Amino acid sequence: MNFLAGAMIAALVGSCIASPGYLKLDLHKQAPLANRLVRRQSSAGSFDAVLTPNQGLEYLVNLTVGTPPQGLAVTLDTGSSDLWIPAASAPFCKKGQCDFGSFDPSSSSTYQVVEQAGFNITYAYPGDTDAGDWGSDTITIDGSAPIDNQQIGVASVLFDHHGVMGVGYDTNEAHNDGPSGVYQSVMDNLVKSGIIDRKAFSLYLNNPEASTGSIVFGGIDTTKYTGDLVALPLQPSPDGVVKEYYVALTGVSFTDSTGKTAPLSPQGYSQATLLDAGTTNTLLTNDVFGALALGFGAVWDAGGTGAYLIPCSLSNGTGTISYSFGGEGGITIQVPLANIVGGQIYTPDDFDDPSGGCMLSMGTTGESGGFSILGDSFLRSAYAVFDLENHVAALAQADENKASTSSIVVFPTGTAVPSATATAMATGTQLTTIKPETQVPEASISGSSLILAGTPTFNLGISSSTAIAGSGPSSLGSSGACNHAPAPTAALVGLGLAAGIMGL
């Protein structure tokens, strides 16, 4: 399979606000960075997927490490649990190619080696391994109070150009030789250090055009959502243990420009689905994705980018995808059509639409298509809460462009999710019978290079004659990163890095 080299946008984290019980960090978008291919693995299996250019916001946390403090930034990832950073001795860093700084252990008086050559994370792309020592040192998170003796991976062998701060479960940590097989993660030590009261956080990515979003460790910002915040029990993996942020997805539908709603999921659908800011696209079971792709008139560009393509003008279309969770008494999150239109891949000269060809920020998990991952193209429409201590998530409809306001409720010790108005108890399982992939039409060529667009079956309220070249919140047209030819054949899934296959 060929892939498109997606252009990442970094989102630096700044403007830390700390008060008793919580730590709030603002998320800021930055310029596109390097590209790479990563295949992600979950408990249900592995799959390939493609990053949509300029949809793949990478959220970076500013850290200091060591004494005296050395500043650097690392990717925030909800799909992993380790903090690792590039070593200054790594060849990339010596050449000045470490995107957001590096760490020199020899310059820190508080650094200690935990296990020499013990750190290793391996991803599915050939050669994609980051490895080095396990160590410990004092860190701060964007100006927070110091956290002493935080275990970190210090990678001197790099494939990726900057590190990761995972905020998942301890059981999802990379292999280490500790007595219990786990160590105190950043989330553990935020509680241990008294910075937050409970191992919980909330995430507000905001829409693609917004300048900022936020994450609140230990609290919920009630100004960032509308309607009810509904708690959902996290679903266990097949071995019966909760290890990742799976919730029960109980329905998917599409409402078109006329207000007509068409159900896309089968009767009785109740599936354990991963909420993961570590994945850019939304990846659905074959039957649901196929219905959406055909409705949008998507075509599969197998011979070029290896991506699903749609006219960029769909970003101005009218329609919403509705995702329902928890069954009766649950919550429905509406995702506008504009949020699933990726960056421009083909100009109007190369694509049979006056607006050009854009990538669809959705896909299927292919042969492993019995599970779903709701990545950033979903989470930008949701306010998401994660309570690791009580194995609960909570969702509400995000109130977009409210980054300038703030009213934070602290997670107290105990079990209640503050501000949650209901708990929906439906459970979901991984599907055992996987339907074959829907045959989305393969892109066809007219003349020497023009790619023919598909025909939507949904009423999207747009005309194919509407010329909006480079349109949409994710267009690369203004950056100069898009030209008449497909980009090199490589791609990234989501935040990359810790979203890959770890050597556990």
Residues listed for the chain: 504
Please, what is the end-to-end C-alpha distance for the chain in angstroms? 27
Question: Is the Cβ–Cβ distance between 122 and 129 less than 8 Å?
Answer: yes
**Quick one: 221 exposed, middle or buried, by C-beta within 10 A (0-12, 13-18, 19+)?**
buried
Does the annotation count 160 as an active-site position? no
Cis preceding linkage at 456, omega within 30: no
157 pairs with which residues across the strands? 131
Which amino acid, one-letter code, is at 60? L
Per the structure block, which two tokens stand in for 100? 């957001």
**Amino acid, res. 502:** M
Pairing of strands 147-157, 83-86: parallel
Q: Of these residues, 26, 48, 77, 197, which one is catalytic?
A: 77
Which residues does 227 contact at the CB level (< 8 Å), separation at least 6? Answer: 396, 397
Report the C-alpha gap between 200 and 417 in whole angstroms.
Answer: 10
Per the annotation, the verdict on 130 as an active-site residue is no
Inter-CA distances, 76 with 151, 166, 182, 427, 496, Å: 16, 6, 20, 28, 10
The phi and psi torsions of 217 (rounded to 5 degrees) equal -80, 125
Question: Which has the closest alpha carbon to 60: 72, 45, 44?
Answer: 72
Question: Which residue intervals of 321-465 are DSSP H helices?
Answer: 376-379
- Exposed (0-12), middle (13-18) or buried (19+): which is 331, by Cβ within 10 Å? buried
Three-class SS state of 191:
helix
Q: How far apart are CA 82 and CA 226, in angstroms?
A: 33
Contacts of 416 (CB under 8 A, 6+ apart): none
What single string gives the DSSP state of each residue in 280-312? SSEEE-HHHHHHHHHHHT-EE-TTTTSSEEEEG
Question: Helices (DSSP H) in 301-441: which residue ranges?
Answer: 376-379
Catalytically annotated residue among 130, 160, 197, 276: 276
CA dihedral 95, 101, 102, 108 (to 10 degrees): 130
Q: Which residues are known to be catalytic?
A: 77, 276
